[in-house]
Structure formats: C-alpha cells, structure tokens
C-alpha cells in the first residue's frame, strides 16, 4: 500500500495532461500511486495515458461525463492511502512537492492539509509570475489554527492552490464536494475541515506551476487577465453563500459568528469592487466604469458606500494620465503603490 495517492481528474486535455503526469512521476518522494480519472474524453487522452509504462500509474475511464464536481468527488471516494492530492490536469508538480508536503503532515498530526506557494505559467508554459502566494499575508512555513483559517477564509476568497494541497485522507469531510458550490469547487471542503478542528500548514516555497489559460474551469467564471482570473459576479456571490452556510452549520462552534458574517459580507463588497476595477482595465473609460459599478451595485447596493468605489469613479472622470501623475507623486512621497489583483478559484 502506497502512502500517497495523487489523482488527476481530466477531460479532453490530451495536449496538457502528459506534462501533468510526467511531473508527478518525477517526484523525489516515490511511495505514491497516480490515478488518472478520465471523464469520458473524446480526444486522445486514453492514448496519452497508455503511452506511460509505470506501475504506479492507473487509469479509469468513466462510462459517461460525471461533470467537474462529480469527477473530483469520485476521486475523493477512492482515497484509501494516508494522504491524497487532487492535481489539475493542466498544472505541473515540481519534484519536491510530495517530499515537502508529506514531511509536513508526518510532523504535525493535527494538520489536515498542507499547501504551498507556486509559480504561475501561461498556456505555452511561459513563466508569468514567480513564487505566487494566495494566503494574503503568510510568510515562512506556517501552521494556521482552525480558528485562524476560518477567520481568514471569511475575509478573502481562494487562499489555496489545490494542485499543491496534500490532504490527510481521514480529515476529508463526508460527502465530498457539492454541485451547489460551483464554481467554487473546493472552498467549502477546506472550511468543513477547519470546522472539524483540523489545522492547515503552509510551505513558503513554490512546489508547483499553476497554469493560466482560456480553457480552464476558472476561465468559465472569470476571464484570464495576466497571471490570474478576473472573478465574476457568480463566483463572488457563491463564495458568500458558502461562507454563510458554513456559519449556520457551525453555529455555536465558530467564535463570534456575527463578526464572521460581517467579514464575509465585507469580503464580497471588496471583491465586487475589485471586479469592477479589473473589468475597466486598462483604459478606465468613464462610461465603462460607471456601467461596471452599476452592475455590482445591483448585486449589493451597499458597495456604493465604500470609499474605493468613489475613488474608482473619480479616477475614471480624471482619466488615466492624470491618475498616473497623482500616483507618481504619491510614490515620490513614500506612499505604497496599489496593485490590481486577480485570483484563481
């Protein structure tokens, strides 16, 4: 019995899944098995997988397309080793991914999942960003308590690159993933782990490459923009639904649920404004900006009270050249520059 199972759920990615498989088979930690779950692809995926001659690799072709959530849930149901990882079929694992993450779980029995920073690559493998970190503040190898993880999850959206996330199999919540959580595939699963008291470890070293391209699941809900995706209304609203549902399920267990709810609602407001900002890049034309702001205000009218909304509106009136001059003067006075951010899901 291997100690780790790496799952690669795939569908019609014959051109990319080969690289994902090769990267897993090249791990410095060798006590694992790799299981490719083909969601009834109609391209050359079966031939690509069959071209590998490695006893650690097994292949299942689903009799029909189970859907994204269905294929992921099928993988979780097969997990019977100590640890398991679900890696996207278009990402790449660096050689030390399993070695570092297995050591982290071995050394901390209270940790239910360990993840890491990562590099961001484009559709052709070109490097877009080095050592990306979605945790919003963690530096150095860190263990977050379940309480801290819940708090940070309320404040932000995705903080974990799933292709780096090695899970303790016994920490997996019952029921797996739910279709009602789309497009936020694994967000509720991490919250449920924390709700059961599991801690989360972060390794401050890039251990995988996360690929950005127009054919990903994330791109269906937010268009690619540089080294990330612009989150759309659907995923921003769904994330709030998941957070509020979690708080209701764990009422009496989560400390200060009222504060957690306020953090979650503020996070949606911030993400909606960020969405409007990113939708108007790079020209920041006035009419486009006001249309974007009107769109987010229909989702949550309270965003109109946010100072960053009025800054965005004023910037669109002033025009990008004048805004850049103002920013340059601020930097000259020692004020920090602000960067538009995008995020994966």
Domain span at residue 297? 233-332
Q: Decide: 301 and 278 in contact? Cβ < 8 Å.
A: no
pLDDT for 221:
41
Q: Do 237 and 99 fall into the same domain?
A: no
Q: Within a domain: residue 342?
A: no
pLDDT for 326:
54
Contacts of 163 (CB under 8 A, 6+ apart): 85, 86, 87, 88, 91, 93, 118, 208, 210
Q: Is the pTM of this model over 0.75?
A: yes
pLDDT for 293:
81
Q: Do 58 and 197 fall into the same domain?
A: yes
Number of domains in the chain: 2
pLDDT for 341:
42
Q: Do 259 and 207 fall into the same domain?
A: no
Q: Do 12 and 91 fall into the same domain?
A: yes
Q: Do 166 and 253 fall into the same domain?
A: no
Q: Do 177 and 303 fall into the same domain?
A: no
pLDDT for 335:
53
What's the Cα-to-Cα distance from 139 to each of 129, 132, 338, rounded to whole Å? 17, 12, 20
Contacts of 227 (CB under 8 A, 6+ apart): 120, 128, 129, 132, 212, 342
pLDDT for 3:
98
Q: Do 27 and 141 fall into the same domain?
A: yes
Residue 49 maps to which CATH number? Answer: 3.90.550.10
Q: Do 250 and 212 fall into the same domain?
A: no
Q: Decide: 222 and 230 in contact? Cβ < 8 Å.
A: yes
Q: Are strands 4-10 and 83-86 parallel, antiparallel or unpaired?
A: parallel
pLDDT for 170:
97
Q: Do 196 and 277 fall into the same domain?
A: no
| CB-neighbour burial class of residue 99 (10 A; exposed 0-12, middle 13-18, buried 19+) | middle
pLDDT for 342:
44
Which residues of the chain, if any, have pLDDT below 50?
Answer: 219-225, 227, 229, 337-345
pLDDT for 344:
45
Q: Do 201 and 53 fall into the same domain?
A: yes
Q: Do 284 and 314 fall into the same domain?
A: yes
- Pick the last residue of a domain from 187, 220, 253: 220
């Amino acid at each position: 019995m291997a100690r780790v199972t790496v799952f690669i759920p795939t569908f019609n990615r014959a051109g990319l899944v080969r690289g994902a498989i090769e990267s897993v088979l090249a791990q410095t930690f060798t006590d694992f098995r790799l299981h490719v779950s083909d969601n009834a692809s109609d391209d050359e995926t079966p031939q690509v997988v069959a071209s590998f001659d490695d006893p650690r690799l097994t292949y299942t072709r689903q009799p029909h397309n189970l859907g994204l959530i269905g294929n992921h849930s099928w993988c979780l149901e097969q997990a019977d080793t100590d640890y398991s990882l679900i890696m996207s079929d278009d990402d790449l694992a660096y050689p030390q991914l399993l070695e570092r993450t297995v050591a982290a779980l071995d050394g901390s029995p209270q940790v239910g999942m360990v993840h890491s920073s990562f590099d961001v690559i484009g559709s052709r493998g070109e490097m877009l960003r080095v050592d990306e970190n979605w945790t919003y503040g963690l530096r150095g190898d860190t263990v977050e308590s379940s309480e801290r993880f819940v708090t940070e999850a309320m404040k932000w959206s995705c903080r974990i690159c799933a292709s780096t996330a090695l899970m303790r199999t016994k920490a997996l919540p019952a029921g797996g993933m739910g279709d009602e959580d789309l497009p936020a595939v694994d967000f509720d699963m991490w919250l449920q782990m924390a709700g059961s008291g599991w801690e989360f470890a972060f390794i401050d070293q890039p251990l995988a490459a996360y690929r950005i391209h127009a054919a990903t699941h994330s791109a269906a809900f937010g268009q690619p923009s540089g080294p990330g995706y612009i989150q759309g209304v659907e995923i921003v609203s769904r994330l709030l639904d998941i957070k509020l549902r979690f708080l209701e399920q764990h009422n009496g267990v989560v400390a200060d649920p009222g504060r957690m709810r306020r953090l979650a609602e503020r996070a949606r407001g911030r993400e909606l404004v960020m969405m409007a900002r990113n939708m108007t890049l790079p020209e920041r034309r006035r009419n486009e900006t006001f249309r974007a702001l009107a769109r987010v205000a229909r989702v949550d009218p309270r965003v109109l009270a946010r100072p960053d909304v009025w800054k965005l509106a004023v910037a669109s009136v002033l025009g990008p050249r004048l805004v850049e001059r103002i920013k340059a003067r601020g930097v000259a006075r020692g004020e920090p520059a602000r960067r538009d951010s995008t995020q994966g899901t």
